[in-house]
Each structure stands twice: as structure tokens, then as C-alpha cells.
Amino acid sequence: MLIIFTACGEKEKVSLQTTVVERGELTETVTATGTVESVTQVDVGTQVTGIIDKLLVDYNSIVSKGELIAEIEKTMLESDLKSAEANVESARLTYEYNLTNYKRDKALHDKQLISDYEFQTSTKDLEVSKTAYDKAKADRVRAAKNLNYAEIYSPIDGIVISRDVEVGQTVVSNMSVANLYTIADLDHMQVIGDVDEADIGQVKVGQPVTFSVDAYSDQLFEGTVTQVRLNPTTTNNVVTYEVVVSAENPEHKLIPGLTANLTIYVMRQQNILLLSNKAFTFEPKPSGDEKNLPQPEGDGKVVKLGENQKLVWVAKGDKLVPTAVTTGLSNGIKTEIISGLKEGDIVAEDYSSMPSATAAGDDNRSPFAPQPPGRKKK
């Protein structure tokens, strides 16, 4: 709010510009651009080789953790399991046969009725068959697991944002093959912003953030700084640092890949007394001719200033009263007033002057220009 006192001299009109102490919000921000990502995003692959038999979800399908989303053709896997079970049975019979021979030979060897060589041979056969039996059981467990892996379940709650296979396509269980699906949790998103090196020192974890995306240009989204990464990135001799901003996304408007324009509030104070910084540089100029302007009261230099205090001139009627105020935070435009002023106080900011229309207008008027009513031509 601006209040102007004026006084007219012979050649110019002088105005005293003032401002009013008001309550408001004091902010200082850092801007950046970034990319929207999901906090949790999982690539779903396969642990077995086979042919895709069923795809139960598609792009944009909402899935729950543990939900069946695809099946691999099971014929070969079921055959492998039956073969493993047969090997287990065969190994079991061999082991039990050798165990019986070992017990018999041990009794005979204890009575010295067979040689040490014969007893050692039966002992070796028992140990080999025991190892083969254990291996067969392990192979059966693996075959059963592989059969279970033919049914692919969602590892998280989320939305399918990518499907990379078709029914009938052969998939191979190694890292070089494309995934079946990519599932993202769109309820919880994050923005990876690039902050300039000149501003990164002001950015701290926990600071509030607002950002917009081109897809919803009329809407502001809110978030919080959760991480400031110290690894620098240099592009065209410009150094930036990554800042992670978390944001809730209940309406699923934010999707991975969107470009975000971030405003990070490195300072944000609400409902505080604020005064324009111009008021701190004001110096009164007493003038007898400008009687309509408030005149300074006393000498501002006699006002003792303490720590974090500054001098301002408060307009009270026809006087400018020097007042010491205690200041707080500032964003370079406005400053927080902690004490010394109250809401609604009028504080002087500056003087301004302009040529008086009555003094300068007549001399500069063209004799050929139309004259105001009642004025005689020269």
C-alpha cells in the first residue's frame, strides 16, 4: 500500500512516498527444472525359459501385489518336474539297496568274515548313492520351483506402464532379454530436479516445494525436498546438482517422464509484519516551502540503534518520527519487523518530484494550439 503526500512549489511538485506496515508472507525461492519419476518402479522379468502362454494385464492395468499377471507355457516344465521325481525315486531305491548291503557287510566285517576291501567298497557305494539321492531331491525342488515360476505375479501394488512381450513370444531367463512388464507405484512420485551450483547451498532437506507440469499448466503440485545429492553434473560448463522432491499423487495426474518446473522455498514465513526495504534508506529533507509535507521531528541520529535494529521514519500527522525497529528475515525486497512498528503504521520511503503543470505549462504551449476555455490568445 502506497500513500503520497504532495506539496506544490513555484516550479515543481514534491511528493512524499510512504508505505504501510502489513502482515503477509515472506518468501525466498530457488527455481529448477526436473523430471517426474515414480518412487517405486519394478521391471518384471522371468526366471525360466519358455513361451508366453497368457498375458493377463496390459498397459494402464491396475495391479495388486501377488496378483497373477502372466503365465509361461508349462508342458516342458511339468515334464522336467516328472523327470526329477523319477530320478528321486531311482536314487532312493539305489540308496536303500546300498544301505542294506552296507549293514550286512559291516556285520560280517566285524566278525572278520569279509576283507577290508569288500567292506570299503560297500561303504563307498553307500556314500555315492547317498550323494546321488540328495542331488536328485535338490533337482526335484528346482524343477518344482521352475514350474511355479511359470506363473508370474506382481511384486508391488501399482500400474502397468510398459508391456514388452506378446503371447507366443519365447522368453529366456537371462539379463539380456527384455522384461515382460514395468510396474510403477503412481501414488508416490518424486521429481529429480537440477539445481544450479549458485543456489544449491540454500537447498535443504525438508523445504517445501511447488511445481507445475505442462500437462496441467493451470495446477500447482506440492512436494518436499527429501534428498540433496552431492554428485555434480556438468553440461556445457554449467554445474548442477540433483535434488529429490517427493510428492503425493492420489489422482494419478503425475506420470513418469513429465518435465516439472520447480520452485523451492528456501525461506517461507507466514503472517508476519513486513516493511519495504526502501524505508531503511530514507532520509528526510526538511523544507519550509513544502508545508503540506510531514516535517522531521528532532534529529534521527539521536536514536540509538541496537543489534539487528534499523532507523525508519514514521509519518504521524504532519511529523516524521524517527523510530528504531528490530528486523528479522529479508528476501531483498521486504524485511520482517520483529518490534518497533505495528500493523497499519505509515512509514516514509522516498521523495519524488515533477514539474508543476501550472508553472511550466504556459511557457511551453504553442501559440497555435487550442486554448483552454476563458483564456485569451496572445
Task: Give pLDDT tens digits for 233-258.
Answer: 999 999 999 999 999 999 999 999 99
Region of poorest pLDDT, from 71-80, 143-152, 312-321: 312-321
CA angle 122, 125, 128 (to 5 degrees): 150
350 DSSP 8-state letter: E
pLDDT at 298 over 80: no
pLDDT at 376 over 60: no
pLDDT at 110 over 70: yes
Measure the CA–CA gap between 158 and 170, rounded to whole angstroms.
26
Cβ neighbours for 267, distance < 8 A, ≥ 6 positions apart? 26, 27, 28, 329, 331
| Chain-centroid distance, C-alpha 86 | 56
What is the mean predicted confidence (pLDDT) over 149-156? 93
pLDDT at 336 over 60: yes
pLDDT at 305: 86
Q: How confident is the model at residue 371 (pLDDT cuts 50, 70, 90)?
A: low
What is the mean predicted confidence (pLDDT) over 301-329? 87
What is the mean predicted confidence (pLDDT) over 178-201? 93
Q: How confident is the model at residue 306 (pLDDT cuts 50, 70, 90)?
A: confident
Closest CA to 325 of 271, 268, 267, 276: 276
Write out the DSSP string of 328-376. EEE-SSEEEEEES--TT-EEEEEEEEEE-HHHHTTTTS-TTSPPPTTPP
Mean pLDDT of the chain: 87
What is the mean predicted confidence (pLDDT) over 171-180? 71
What is the mean predicted confidence (pLDDT) over 290-309? 74
114 DSSP 8-state letter: S
Could you tell me if residue 60 is left (phi over 0), alpha (psi between -120 and 50 degrees) or otherwise beta? left
Measure the CA–CA gap between 49 and 56, rounded to whole angstroms.
19
